[in-house]
Structure 1
Amino acid sequence: MQWRLKAQELANDIEKDMAYGNFDETLEKYRQQPHQDKDTQPVTTAELFEQFIESRRQQGSGEYNLHEVYGTMLRYLQRFGTIDSSDRALEFIGKLKMGELRATAAKPISDRTLNKYTSLLRRFSQWAIAYDHWETDHFRKCETVRTEKNRASREAFTDEERDLILSSLQLSRYYRHYYGYVSAMFFLGLRPSELIGLQWKRIDLEGRSLVIAESLSRGEDGKTSSAARKRKETKTGEVATLPLGSEQLQIFAYQRKKYPDAKPDSLVFPSPEGLAIDDHNFCNRSWHGILREARIDLYRPPYAARHTFATWAKRNGMPDEQTAYWMGHKTTRMVTEHYGHLDKQPMVPRFTWAPLDD
């Protein structure tokens, strides 16, 4: 497992360098560097975690997540000290849970936050083992907390809830502008940064296809404003061409009607001010209101719309391999942990959708 992980990360680095013209023909860049003598130059857990953060950045992880989640964990590790055993790892998790590593007054964290941190530390531990920094998984005894509330918050919307949200948007006084954007959230299944940054030049209405080649990701330190966002390659570094069904084409036709003078580089789903949507503000200011108007009792974040797409597609017969390719994954993790061939000609199921008369 360790050698497979290292081999896959190396292959990803080489593919990315070839795509951007940075391939090292001498291969020196890709050779494994000899480890420093740990006895003479010990690496602290926090320093090792910094290396882990950089590896995730190279693999395309978003800056917001790296700064807000990974960065917070780094500060906790710096305050705690070295973790070199399962007992120390359990002690660290205990202090996390009670909020004793906060810079301000200690305050226990929620089970949901603790689960997020525990999952992150497990990934870090597996990375450290794979790259020969650790010999054992220090966090193997650290279990996530299972609660009904946590499970519910990650649920996909039901078909009825999805349709209720969209029908409510049609009549909404305040949030009607987002009808096309939210429809695309549910029926395209793209990552938020890919959908926010989608440009008209990537859509071929006559050819009935959509190209996902880049994202408009959050800026440095997780800033979400339009000015702070930066165009980047997709999370996996790959370009995907997706065939569009007739109903998906209606969503784009509706947006084109709203913006008849849009240029090829124009955003397909701009904010009311004509800028890139600030997904943080959208979630805090609009999404809560949208769910409230639709009378959805159980809150789920906008990202749940992507999970809703996957659930809906699978229920309607789309194979896991096609769903994974459509959604930009390299694996069909829900059915297997191994990489495999992905069907690159997925056919999206039919659905009912009607444009608004603006």
Structure 2
Amino acid sequence: MKAKVAQGKACKGTVQIKNSNGCLQLVFSYAGKRHYISTGFTDIPTNRKVVEMRARQIELDILSGHFDPTLAKYKPESLHSTVTPIFTPINKPRIETGPSLVELWEKYTDFKRPSLSPSTIAKDFTNVSRCIDRSLPTKTLDGAVKIRDWLVANKSSSTAKRILTQLSACCDWAVKSQLIKLNPFEGMSTDIKIPKGKKDDGDINPFSQEERDQIIAAFQSNQNYKHYASLIEFLFYTGCRPSEAVALQWKHVAKDFNSIRFEQAVVISQSGLTCKPGLKTQKKRIFPVNARLANLLKSIKPSFRAGEAKVFPSPEGKWIDVHNLAQRAWKTVLSTLSEIEYRKLYQTRHTFITLALDNKMDVKDVAKLVGNSPEIIYRHYAGQSKEIIVPDF
């Protein structure tokens, strides 16, 4: 009787045997990392008994502390060297199918991990991994067309294009690493056209000065979310990125309150919220504090100002999750201001830059304050904030 294919994740220290497109695969976790080993055996009772022996060996090695982290001991070459070659019921030899998309993506992620931020790994790479593991109709490279068609039919144009781009990059790396001969996803993403959509975080639609002040006042009077009022005020007064603001510690604020040093950001990683050194476009920048901003900082300064203490902690004293802040507090408070058009939290940055330019600040100075290049300010802000007057002629 054919053994039942395992479903779901294995318990810690156990090894599952899965059917992956007709072939048996070993799946297990070790040291917090998920491993997939293709055995090369077709799923027939005789082959399954052989693979079960190897699964038990891995479990024993993990328990006894003799686990081989290189996996060489458990891969197909080692497995086949200890057994007689198995033939399928129709008396044909096993056909090598090459590495699966799951294995390639895992290897590619490990290769890229040192050069990527924790947030990129957590969001972009983990999302693709989850899609490969749980959703795609096939996990073999010869099913690339089927994968493309499924993505186009089940995902938005931008998501399908992004995943295909990442799968192609993975396979390009695999070709260079001599793991596969051809990239089956090459050029697929270019065929997907993304329609022009609604405004997003990158669009500039700033609040007016009056709207800014109404939003700050609304946060200050809101019983559920007034804890975040000082942070919202700070975002409007500095134009910094929200991830930079929530990462501020009192050691970054000068003792005389005349400057702030931005040099880290809170991002989402695989382990949760993580404070990482460096900013999006630079290592650090100094922001000069005016009288209004100094008064804000003085009003929230704790009596004992420990350097490592957070300037804007969550109600529980932890890092503030910007995504949750935007989805809950920001949306809720702005919904009470019916006269103000809803715009996303990131527009606090666009508002500061636009108001600074409206008040005749030099473009280069504004760029330095917010961590952009003058070219970006000219391209995206200066033209919009400048009133065009047609002279009489």
TM-score of the two chains, using structure 1 as the length reference: 0.59
1:213 matched residue in structure 2: 263
Q: 1:76 aligned to 110, 121, 131, which one?
A: 131
Report whether the alignment pairs 1:96 with 2:146: no
C-alpha distance after superposition, 1:290-349 (max 9, x if no partner): 11223366544433333433444444455555545433457955768xxxxxxxxxxxxx
1:142 matched residue in structure 2: 192
Compare CA radii of gyration and give the structure with the larger one.
2
2:253 matched residue in structure 1: 203
2:41 matched residue in structure 1: none
User: 1:212 deviation in Å?
Assistant: 1.4
Q: 2:297 aligned to 247, 252, 257, which one?
A: 252
2:205 matched residue in structure 1: 156
Amino acid at match of 2:153: M
User: 1:280 deviation in Å?
Assistant: 3.9
Q: 1:286 aligned to 329, 334, 349, which one?
A: 329
Amino acid at match of 1:156: N
1:231 matched residue in structure 2: 275
2:224 matched residue in structure 1: 174
Native 8 Å contact 2:206 2:354 kept in 1: no
2:237 matched residue in structure 1: 187
C-alpha distance after superposition, 1:255-307 (max 9, x if no partner): 22xx2333222111122343332334323432222112233665444333334
2:311 matched residue in structure 1: 268
Native 8 Å contact 1:156 1:307 kept in 2: yes
Please give the residue correspondences for 1:4-23 in structure 2 after superposition, counting only pairs within 5 Å: none
Distance 2:259 2:326 in 1: 29
**What is the DSSP-based 3-state SS (H/G/I as helix, E as strand, rest coil) of the residue aligned with 2:191?**
coil
Change (3 A) 1:96 1:186: farther
Aligned-residue RMSD, C-alpha: 4.2
Which structure has more RCO (C-alpha within 8 Å, separation ≥ 6)? 1
2:122 matched residue in structure 1: 67
Distance 2:353 2:163 in 1: 24
User: 1:182 deviation in Å?
Assistant: 0.5
User: 1:233 deviation in Å?
Assistant: 0.7
Change (3 A) 1:213 1:68: closer
Distance 2:104 2:366 in 1: 35
Amino acid at match of 1:243: P
User: Which ranges of structure 1 fall in alignment gaps of 5 or more residues?
Assistant: 1-39, 100-108, 224-228, 337-358
TM-score of the two chains, using structure 2 as the length reference: 0.54
User: 1:55 deviation in Å?
Assistant: 7.2
User: 1:56 deviation in Å?
Assistant: 6.7
Native 8 Å contact 1:156 1:311 kept in 2: no
Native 8 Å contact 1:122 1:139 kept in 2: yes
Change (3 A) 1:126 1:184: farther
